[in-house]
Structure 1
Amino acid sequence: MADLFAPDDMAGADAPADTAPLADRLRPRTLADVVGQEHLTGPDGAIGRMVAAGRLSSIILWGPPGTGKTTTARLLADAVGMRFAPISAVFSGVADLKKLFASAKEHARRGEKTLLFVDEIHRFNRAQQDGFLPFVEDGTVTLVGATTENPSFELNAALLSRAQVLILRRLDAAALEQLLDRAEALTGRPVPIDAAAREALVASADGDGRFLLNQVETLYSIDLPEPLDPAGLSALLHRRVAVYDKDREGHYNLISALHKSLRGSDPQAALYYLARMLTAGEEPLYVLRRLVRFATEDIGLADPQAVVQCLAAKDAYDFLGSPEGELAIVQACIYCATAPKSNAGYVAMKASFKSARDTGSLMPPMNIVNAPTKLMKQVGYGKNYQYDHDAAEGFSGANYWPEEMTPQTFYAPTDRGFEARIAERIAHWDRLRAERSGQ
């Protein structure tokens, strides 16, 4: 399984004492014992193929906490006959790395290869990460890094180019059930909970095997007169706090999921991701800003009230605070999800901005430029301007484009919601313009 299991000793060391934590006693002894990561450790997986070939390249193990990164690295070293040298980026610095590299060179002279395992490798800064490069390139060490953060954001490109990124999956219910079975086999007694509470216990672990086994150990340590039901389990144990860092990948994944669920007109999924963010501690005003953005980017004039609803939700939240104010955010979310969608305004903005950059400083036609002075009027500023309110149907059909440009079409309204009416108006004005220009 995972970092779940072992202190930083060599793989294949003596079994932990009976007094050791349950997670430590249940740590896998071979890669075949690792649960939930068969896509990597199986015969067709990247790790399985490396072991079969007896050759290990540098890798980065990326995955949530409690999914097997440390244990996999430890067992990998044992499987290919390498020396395991662990270090944590949280507690180590340049001096520690120099000692490790010097030791690895000494062992290499004796024909012993070193697997350097760096836990939380993303904690090293860019300069420290660069320090690994020469020792990886000359074969002094084979680097295996572990991280819970997206390597694309947290690791140097040079380091990533020399290592294969392997993704460990969040443990699913089947994998967590395997851990429960192993705990019961090791202790010789069932976990003191009923079937419904067992499902709740697995769900409460949120994919973290170490957390699950720690919960099981707590249950074993308490003298319970009868197995617990879900209510009893909830009263005794706490749920694992959801993994959510406001400035890291989980934050961006959830806001992306919320935005795309809204765009896909799925109010149920949108509410789920909204709840995921708010219950994890996201700033409500951040969510509201994103809803306002969505209302203008993906709804626009198909329903002009969408942005009004979102801004009203912001005012309501400011006025009420938490927790009552969250209801206004939920209302705005539902409104946006169920509103007709159009990105015509967004497309029009990009196209018009590009045209403005491309055409530079073209002069508007003289009939619509300002003429505040007598001289400007004498040279033709504002000459022949047609005041639309005085024209038939309040529409003159005059040309408003620079003489060097042909008229462009930036905004093309959809046939959805209020934009369908806008499209009718534009088509009507286009017909009048053609008629009055003699076309």
Structure 2
Amino acid sequence: MADLFPDAAKAHPATPSPDGPLADRLRPARLEDVVGQEHLTGTEGAIGRMVAAGRLSSIIFWGPPGTGKTTISRLLADAVGMRFEPVSAVFTGVADLKKIFAAARDHAKIGQRTLLFVDEIHRFNRSQQDGFLPYVEDGTITLVGATTENPSFELNAALLSRAQVLILRRLDSAALEKLLARAETLMERALPLTPAAREALIASADGDGRFLLNQAETLFAVDLAEPLDPAALSALLHRRVAVYDKDREGHYNLISALHKSLRGSDCQAALYYLARMLVAGEEPLYVLRRLVRFASEDIGLADPQALVQCLAAKDAYDFLGSPEGELAIVQACLYLATAPKSNAAYKAQKAAWKSAKDTGSLMPPANILNAPTKLMKDIGYGANYAYDHDAPEGFSGDNYWPEEMRPATFYTPTDRGLEKRIAERMAYWNDLRLKRT
């Protein structure tokens, strides 16, 4: 490994250099020192059980940046006495992997098993991922891959079937506080922060321990006359950019959260997820398209103004642009969240579409067909059509269904919002229809 990747040993030294980055100097030496992942590393966790058994299966670590994927992998190899071979999918090709597999086979002959750690494993294409399969199956390597992307989307099913997916959680405030305390112990001094600024620093890390320690290292390096308050801290440090890829899982998670918060009539949560998306750089028109869809799917005729509000917000945003036009999106979001909910129109569409496919090309009844020619009149088109405006109550109660088809019920309004009144009208017309048949 050292011959193939001369920088690998330096990237993962057994004893961190005292002049190295703070995050490297604070890398845990034991699995029990890893913070925030006790659900995996504890005695009842998947990793704890593997270590206790002294044997690892292949693993895919899935989690946000800075949560310990690389550190845990290295400590796993140490805990069960395996060679640790770290590579990055960004810098490694098929030829490099073949050399690693060959070296792993040579070590296997003398009883030395190899843990191959592949960082950013999702960056390998499908055929490259397939290349791991025979070496995993015959035990040449134990594969431990790390990814920030959803393995279901990014990794081959064949590879996933041979590995256990373990999910690492973003570090919570308690875990991040432990990292800061360890940093202060190592540096033998406290961070120059007020309590409120310390909380702000932890919040700014967004669950990323490595980012937090890098920020702490910057603070240790500056000479300050007095502790920083939150405003001074914000001015000194770079603001962390929210993790959000418009074409990846974070995008779908947030739009799902927004949609379900709206459906659950929680306007505060809906506004939060809307802000998360727009602050992270989501295209406002994409959000507006989803709001328009929501207005029809989850509100419909319970409040027809919901759709009007969304389209008005789209026009306002087109007219004003960002940031001024974003307030119109907020208004539409709040309107949707606080409107009465009904998916009756959505269910009616699905039922009607299914019926249309099932019944094929049935002709409507002759009485409601137009008869623009003499021949059509002669064969009965339009005969005995009852003009509803001439009937009492403006309602004829005529039959509008194909003769071969019994009347069906697709739309059933709820008792919420305007649909309650619509339901009353429908019941009134049904009563009239029964009286006139």
Residue 229 of structure 2 corresponds to residue 220 of structure 1: no
Query: Cα deviation per residue 1:110-166 (whole Å; 9 max; x = unaligned)?
Result: 211110111000001111111111110011110000000000111111111100000
> What is the TM-score when the length of structure 2 is the normalising length?
0.97
Q: CA separation in 2, counterparts of 1:13 and 1:422?
A: 72
Any gaps of 5 or more consecutive residues in structure 1? 1-6
Query: Cα deviation per residue 1:59-80 (whole Å; 9 max; x = unaligned)?
Result: 0000000000001001101101
Displacement of 1:10 in angstroms is 9.0
Partner of 1:121: 121
Q: Report SS of the residue matched to 1:143.
A: strand
Aligned residue pairs total 431
What letter corresponds to residue 200 of structure 1 in structure 2? A
Partner of 1:163: 163
Displacement of 1:8 in angstroms is 4.1
Displacement of 1:239 in angstroms is 2.6
Q: Report SS of the residue matched to 1:386.
A: coil
Q: Report SS of the residue matched to 1:9.
A: helix
Q: Report SS of the residue matched to 2:116.
A: strand
**Quick check: 1:368–1:400 contact (8 Å CA) kept in 2?**
yes
**Quick check: 1:11–1:29 contact (8 Å CA) kept in 2?**
no
Displacement of 1:370 in angstroms is 2.4
**Quick check: 1:11–1:77 contact (8 Å CA) kept in 2?**
no
Residue 411 of structure 2 corresponds to residue 388 of structure 1: no
Residue 96 of structure 2 corresponds to residue 93 of structure 1: no
Q: 1:324-335 to 2 correspondence within 5 Å?
A: 324-335=324-335
> What is the TM-score when the length of structure 1 is the normalising length?
0.96
Displacement of 1:11 in angstroms is 11
Residue 15 of structure 2 corresponds to residue 15 of structure 1: yes
Q: 1:85-234 to 2 correspondence within 5 Å?
A: 85-234=85-234
For the aligned residues, what is the CA RMSD? 1.3
Displacement of 1:268 in angstroms is 0.7
Query: Cα deviation per residue 1:283-336 (whole Å; 9 max; x = unaligned)?
Result: 000000011000000000001111000000000000001110000000000111
Partner of 1:79: 79
What letter corresponds to residue 238 of structure 1 in structure 2? H
Worse overlay, 104-113 or 166-175: 104-113
What letter corresponds to residue 219 of structure 1 in structure 2? L
**Quick check: 1:11–1:75 contact (8 Å CA) kept in 2?**
no
Query: Cα deviation per residue 1:200-227 (whole Å; 9 max; x = unaligned)?
Result: 1111111100001000110111111111
Partner of 1:4: none
Partner of 2:3: none
Residue 293 of structure 2 corresponds to residue 293 of structure 1: yes
Cα distance change, pair 11–332 in 1 and its aligned pair in 2 (3 A): closer
Displacement of 1:169 in angstroms is 0.4
Worse overlay, 76-85 or 372-381: 372-381
Worse overlay, 8-17 or 158-167: 8-17
Q: CA separation in 2, counterparts of 1:235 and 1:358?
A: 65
Worse overlay, 230-239 or 199-208: 230-239
Any gaps of 5 or more consecutive residues in structure 2? 1-6
Q: Report SS of the residue matched to 2:55.
A: coil
What letter corresponds to residue 374 of structure 1 in structure 2? K
Partner of 1:3: none
Q: CA separation in 2, counterparts of 1:370 and 1:117?
A: 73
Displacement of 1:9 in angstroms is 3.3
Q: Report SS of the residue matched to 1:246.
A: coil
Q: Report SS of the residue matched to 1:177.
A: helix
Displacement of 1:194 in angstroms is 1.6
Displacement of 1:381 in angstroms is 1.6
Q: Report SS of the residue matched to 2:106.
A: helix
